[in-house]
A and B are shown apart, each in its own frame.
Chain A
Amino acid sequence: MNKLPLEGIRIADFGQIIAVPYTAQMLAWLGAEVVLIETEQRLTTRIWPPFAEAEPGVNRSGGFNMVNSSKMSCTLNLRDPKGVELAKQIISVSDVVVENYSSGAMERMGLGYQEVRSLRPDVIYLSLGAFGRTGPMKGLVGFHSVINLFSGLASVTGHKGSHPRIMGGLFPDAFSGCYCVLALLEALYHRSHTGEGQHIEVAMTEALATLLPEAIMEYTLDGTEPERVGNRHKEKAPHNVFRCQGEENWVAISVENDSQFLALAQASGNPGWSDDPRFATPEARLKHQDELEPLVQQWTAGLQVQEVVEKLQNAEVPAGPVLDSGQVLSDPHMIERGFVQSPDHPEVGPRPLGAFPWAVDGGQPGIARGAPLFGEHNVKVLQELLQVPEDEFARLVENGIIS
């Protein structure tokens, strides 16, 4: 295999919960050596469900293992100055520092950008905050739900006439994480020919607001707030999910023009639909969605999801299954493409995860390895990398500086 793009890059990962751990994981897959610095006194995802077979344990959490794979784990007590001192030594041999503690926490520990820069002048240092590191709300505590609610995303999510809804998947964390990865890769490229590091700041609320240009434009033009429209679309109809045979089985169908609608009418055995004046043009279909959707629903209700998808795709009508997360991981198409990978793990065995959403020249752009056990790489990081003598290491363990 060719050399991975980030081989030789070391990252000190002070990530918390999902967003920054997800960011650093992507960089680890791309070949970076990521040292995750964990503090036993403030564990999060490691002690949260889901656990393998519902049995709790610091090495058994899917929420941890699926955003920290391919990393090394080094457990330092950052509440002790000696632990902070070791963290500084790790930083001084790292190219990149990433963190998403609450605003000001890294500075209070003595690990803020200004201090770190004196240890490592060309460091690339990324801080991600729910609301960012400046502004009157910088100190607010914000999990994904708060970010959904503040950013306006919830206000454009929901059924017609109903209340704002929160998107699934802890989406704000991973989406902000993608912006972080992009910024770090750009900064690494910049550094590769200038030698210059830099500080990077990301606000999760702002990442989400980048999804809402039309709503923001309309509001700032004349105060119009968006209406919630369920799964409908302002230009396409039918554009919704429809129930299929069995329980909790749905198919998504999206029709944007007359030829697709004609194809839908024919494929569903209802050629008369396209002659019906209520459905004759895109404008007419948008106007009569309340009448059109039940007709489509009547057709799909008697069929399996895959039957509907195949009939429509064969007729060149956009359609797809509504997959749950189990179906995503067992989808033959995504498995064949290499999206689903199952890195082995000493305690929970191989577990499928979603890796890269892209292939490079038909192959995977990087490698996903298992997540580290708690403190698995303490010796490697502290003794081999930092040259901490063995007796000193033992003393640090004894004093609880190393967990």
Chain B
Amino acid sequence: MHWCGSHCGRAASGMFQEGALSGLKVVELTDRISGQVAGSFCARLLGDAGANVIKVESPEGDPYRRSGPYPGGVPDPDWSGLFLYLNSNKRGVSLDIESPGGRAAFLDLVAAADFLVLGHNSSEVERLGLRREKLSEANPRLIITTITPFGLTGPNSGYLGDDLIAIAAGGMAYATPGIPDSVGDPDLEPPLRSNTNMAGYLAAVQGAMASVAALLSRKIQGTGCEIDLSMQEAVAAVMPFELAHASYHDPKPRKPEIFGVMPNAYLPCKDGYVVVMAVMEAHWRNLMDLADNPDWAELEVFSSGVERARNWDALEPLLLEWTMAHTGAEIAQLAQDRGIPCFPAYTVGQMVDSAHVTERGFMVDMQGPGGQKFQLPGYPVRLERTPWQLFRPAPKLGEHTSEVLGEWLGYTAEQLLNFGVGA
């Protein structure tokens, strides 16, 4: 198999262990709006735990088949990097759910499933009739996990959104950069989003945990439920510390007051940027040791973390002299040897190539259609008994239509022809 790396040796040998969710069936339907990364990755996470996931795509295919990056740089709907990542551990069925036959087949799949994962906006969920009251009669045990930009209820539920809108409306953009980094001039520096589909991944992991919690509830109560997950709230939910500031004191200004104990700072160094953190007295003394115990280290104004915060304007240029004389790697090495949490800003390449990432075998080795070698992130959790496995690569468009409709639903060859699938 072309996609097997160090992290999935079992797949290479063709033997799989049972996952925690083995035997459970998932149907995923996402559309081309924001909810798509969230819905697709949520379903993938359930597949990662061994569930049998069916991704339903329209005949045109999932838009991420056309977003790249592509091995070799040549667009190919079966080799779009983001699609491969979001959709491994799934089988693919191609159905036009706007046609009566396609919709009937889709509803048959849903009736046979344990989970339905949706990534849409709320008006689309309503238009397609995918609410619990419509689906539970055919399948009362169905767990529906619906991820929308602002949720299915509430005054803003009709709003459209995407990752940027969720990061903004969930409070994350305003809070970025975060401590110990800080805004230079609030008038010049707008709130910031990271260039990733972060809100989508957040909502996906939370959607998966809501789904498994619902599975535990189903074990107790015997019935399924409808999970209504908002991407805005998915973002706000991972900021307990920012929310604590608002709840317990005052909302933090974008240009924060100096951290209460110093140094905890993000400073330029010889070849980039570095976090210098020595808020504990022992760390501070060790740090001053590294800086060859300059005379100023003994000054009364720097005698405690609180004093150092109070006199940060005087301390910062002195520390800068030291950081600018060293590379980030030197500072990290020196400091971490003494247990001081200092670290430089890595590039993506430095992270990927680090001995740590390599030794842990985190990345998954992939090979493109022309033999191009590349990697994708693996799974950040190691479960001893129910380990993460790459059971299968992302499906080609409609790859498993006949297999799934035949296996799950017992569709005959004749019925399959209606979907343009030769038996």
Chain B interface residues toward A at CB < 8 A: 20-21, 34, 45, 49, 67-69, 71, 81-82, 85, 132, 149-162, 164-181, 186, 189-198, 201-203, 205-210, 212-217, 219-221, 225-230, 232-234, 236-252, 254, 260, 266, 268, 272-273, 275, 277, 336, 339-341, 343-352, 354-357, 359-360, 362-363, 366, 372-386
Pair count A-B, CB < 8 A: 510
The 24 sampled A-B contact pairs (Cβ below 8 Å) are: A49-B249, A53-B249, A135-B355, A146-B277, A149-B346, A153-B194, A165-B176, A166-B176, A168-B176, A170-B241, A171-B238, A175-B238, A187-B386, A219-B352, A221-B374, A225-B347, A225-B348, A231-B190, A254-B161, A324-B175, A324-B251, A325-B246, A329-B246, A360-B210
Given the complex, which residues of A lie within 8 Å of B157, measured CB to CB?
Answer: 333
Q: A3-B220, A63-B244, A357-B234 are in contact. Are A186 and B386 (CB under 8 A)?
A: yes
Q: How far is the CA of A327 from the CA of B356 in the complex (A)?
A: 40
Q: Which of A51, A131, A136, A169 is in CB contact (< 8 Å) with B238? A: A169
Given the complex, which residues of B lie within 8 Å of A235, measured CB to CB?
Answer: 67
Given the complex, which residues of A lie within 8 Å of B354, measured CB to CB?
Answer: 137, 150
Q: Which of B171, B232, B260, B366 is in CB contact (< 8 Å) with A324? A: B171
Cβ of A39 within 8 Å of any chain B Cβ, yes or no, is no
Given the complex, which residues of B lie within 8 Å of A169, measured CB to CB?
Answer: 171-172, 175-176, 178, 238-239, 241-242
Contact B178 A2 (CB under 8 A): no
Interface of B: prevailing SS:
mixed
Q: A2-B217, A228-B195 are in contact. List 4 more A-B contacts (CB 8 A).
A: A5-B217, A136-B356, A324-B174, A357-B229
Q: Which of A63, A230, A320, A325 is in CB contact (< 8 Å) with B169? A: A320
Q: How far is the CA of A115 from the CA of B195 in the complex (A)?
A: 44
Cβ of A394 within 8 Å of any chain B Cβ, yes or no, is no
Contact B233 A354 (CB under 8 A): yes
Given the complex, which residues of B lie within 8 Å of A105, measured CB to CB?
Answer: none
The distance from the CB of B176 to the nearest CB of chain A, in whole angstroms, is 4
Contact B198 A146 (CB under 8 A): no
Q: Which of B153, B175, B197, B351 is in CB contact (< 8 Å) with A325? A: B175
Residue of A nearest to B376 (CB): A213
Contact B247 A353 (CB under 8 A): yes
Q: Which of A185, A207, A220 is in CB contact (< 8 Å) with B380? A: A207
Given the complex, which residues of B lie within 8 Å of A233, measured CB to CB?
Answer: 164, 195
Interface centre among A171, A188, A250 (most CB of B within 10 A): A171
Contact A339 B375 (CB under 8 A): no
Cβ of A174 within 8 Å of any chain B Cβ, yes or no, is yes
Given the complex, which residues of B lie within 8 Å of A226, measured CB to CB?
Answer: 195, 348
Contact A212 B196 (CB under 8 A): yes
The distance from the CB of A244 to the nearest CB of chain B, in whole angstroms, is 12
Cβ of A201 within 8 Å of any chain B Cβ, yes or no, is yes
Q: How far is the CA of A216 from the CA of B228 in the complex (A)?
A: 32
- Please provide the 8 A-B residue pairs with the shortest distance between their CB atoms, ordered closest to farther: A168-B175, A62-B248, A62-B244, A168-B178, A357-B233, A252-B168, A206-B380, A174-B238
The distance from the CB of A119 to the nearest CB of chain B, in whole angstroms, is 17
Residue of B nearest to A323 (CB): B171
Residue of B nearest to A4 (CB): B217
Q: How far is the CA of A325 from the CA of B206 in the complex (A)?
A: 20
The distance from the CB of B1 to the nearest CB of chain A, in whole angstroms, is 18
The distance from the CB of B394 to the nearest CB of chain A, in whole angstroms, is 12
Q: A192-B216, A196-B385, A337-B230 are in contact. Are A157 and B254 (CB under 8 A)?
A: no
Interface centre among A2, A135, A216, A231 (most CB of B within 10 A): A216
Contact A356 B383 (CB under 8 A): no
Residue of B nearest to A211 (CB): B196
Given the complex, which residues of A lie within 8 Å of B341, measured CB to CB?
Answer: 140-143, 146
Contact A360 B227 (CB under 8 A): yes
Residue of A nearest to B251 (CB): A326
